[in-house]
Amino acid sequence: MLFNSIDFAIFFPIVFLLFWLFAKKLTLRNILILISSYIFYGWWDWRFLFLIAISSLVDFIIGQKIYKANSKKKKKGFLLVSLIVNLGFLFYFKYTNFFVDTFVNAFTLFGKQLEISTLNIILPVGISFYTFQTLSYTIDIYRNKLKPTKNALAFFSFVAFFPQLVAGPIERASHLLPQFYKLNKFNYNQVKSGFLLIAFGLFKKMVIADRAAIIVNQVYNNPADYSGVEIIIATVLFAFQIYCDFSGYSDIAIGTARTLGFDLMKNFDSPYFSKSITEFWHRWHISLSTWFRDYVYIPLGGSKNGKYKTYKNLFIVFVVSGLWHSAAMTFIIWGAIHGAIIVLEKATKKVRFNIYSKIGLGKKSISSNLLFSIITFSIVCFAWIFFRANNFEDALILISKISLENFTILFTDQLYNLGLGKNELIILLIAIISLLGFEVIHKRKNVVNLLREQPLFFRWVFYSIIIFTIIIFGVYGDNDTSQFIYFQF
C-alpha cells in the first residue's frame, strides 16, 4: 500500500480512529497495530507476510535462547541461526540472480558458455529494511545491550510496524520496542505536528519528486538521445527526486507514527547542505549509515587498528552499502565512489586544513561553506549517475556525454522537450527553491515550534496552502511514477 494512494487515504483514518478508541487497552491496541501492519504489507502481496512472520518468530525465540545461554559458544550458535535465517531470506530473494549471472559471466571469460537461466524471483518489498531491523534485536541481545522481550505481540508489532515497515527508518529495538509496552496518551500538539509532517512528505513526493521523475526518466531511459546540459539537468533533478522521494517517505512514516503517539528516529538532516561526503553520510539515510557503523564497521575493527585498516573498513562498509541497495554493478560502484572519497577526506584532513587556511578558506564563512557545499553536491550528483542508470553501459554513455556545449538550451524552447512544459518546469523550480528555503529556516529554528508562535489565522492559512498545493500541483501518474524509489530495495 502506498502512502500517496487512495487506499492509504481510506486505510489510515480508520486505523487512527480505532487506535485511539483502544488506546487505554494495551493488548487490543497492539493487536490492532499488528493486524493493520499485516494488511498494509499484504495489500501488495499477501504471500510474503509469511517471511515477516517467520523472521519475527525466529528472532523472538532466538533472542530468549541467546539471553539464557550459559556459554559464549552457545550464544554465538544461536546468533548464527538468526543470521542464517534472516540473511538467507535476503540473499535468496535479492541476490540469487546476481550471483547466477556473475557465475555464468565468469565462465564466459574463459570461453565456456553455461546454459543456466536466472530464476523468476520476485523481490519482497521492504525485505532489506525489516531484515536489518530484526537483526539488530538479536545482535544487541548477544552484545548484552538489550534484554529479550517476553511479549510476543509487542515484538511482532515492532517488526511489522506499518509506518516504517517497507522503507524505514530502520529502527533499533532498544528505541522502538519499549514503546509497545506502554499506553499512549492523546496529545493534540503531537498529533497536529504528525499530520503536518505527513503533509510535508506528500509535498516532497508528489509536487517535487514525481514531477522531476518525468524529466529524469525521459533522459536516463534514452541516454543515447541526449547530451551535455540535458544530462546535467536530469542528473541534478534526480538528486532532488531521490531526496524528496525518500525523505518524503521518511517524513510520512515519522508523521504517521507520531499521530499514534510513537517516536521514530530522524532519517534525513538537509544532506545537500553538507560540506563534505563524510558530513553527507551523517545527514543522509541516518538510520542505515548508523546501522552499518554499529553492525559492520565496528565489528570489522572500526578505527582501532591503525589508519590503513580504518580506511579499508570504511571502504568495505560503503561497498557493502551499495550492494545492500541492489545486486548490480552500478550500485557497487556508487558505494565505492562514496567510500573512496570518504577515505580520501580522512587521509588528507590535516593537509587540506593547512591548504584551506593559507588560501583563506580555513575559517567558516558563507562563501567557503557555499563553495564546499557545491563541490560536495557535485560529487554526490556524479555518483547518482551510477545509482540511477539502468545499467553500467548506460552510465558510461551518460558520463561520456556530459559537457556544457549545448548550454543555450537553457534559453530556448528546446528545454521543454525533456518532458515538462514551461509552466510545469516553473512549478518544479519554485517547489525546489521553497524546499531549500524551508530547510535553511528549519536549521535555525524548528518550523513546528515557529508555527506555534504564530497567530491562529496565520497557522491555518499556512496549513491550507500546503494542502491545496499538494492537491492542485501534485503529480498523479502511473504506478511507475507514484511508486517510492526505495521500495525496490
Give catalytic residues, as residue numbers. Answer: 325
Kindly give the residue spans of alpha helices, DSSP state H, lying in 359-421.
366-388, 392-401
Give first-to-last CA distance, the chain, whole Å: 16
- Written as one string, the DSSP assignment of 26-93 is HHHHHHHHHHHHHHHHHHHHGGGHHHHHHHHHHHHHHHHHHHH-SSHHHHHHHHHHHHHHHHHHHHHH
Amino acid at position 432, single letter: I
Amino acid at position 317, single letter: V
* C-alpha cell belonging to residue 386: 551510477
Q: Rounded CA gap, 446 and 439, in Å?
A: 10
Amino acid at position 321, single letter: S
Amino acid at position 390, single letter: N
CB 259 within 8 A of CB 212: no
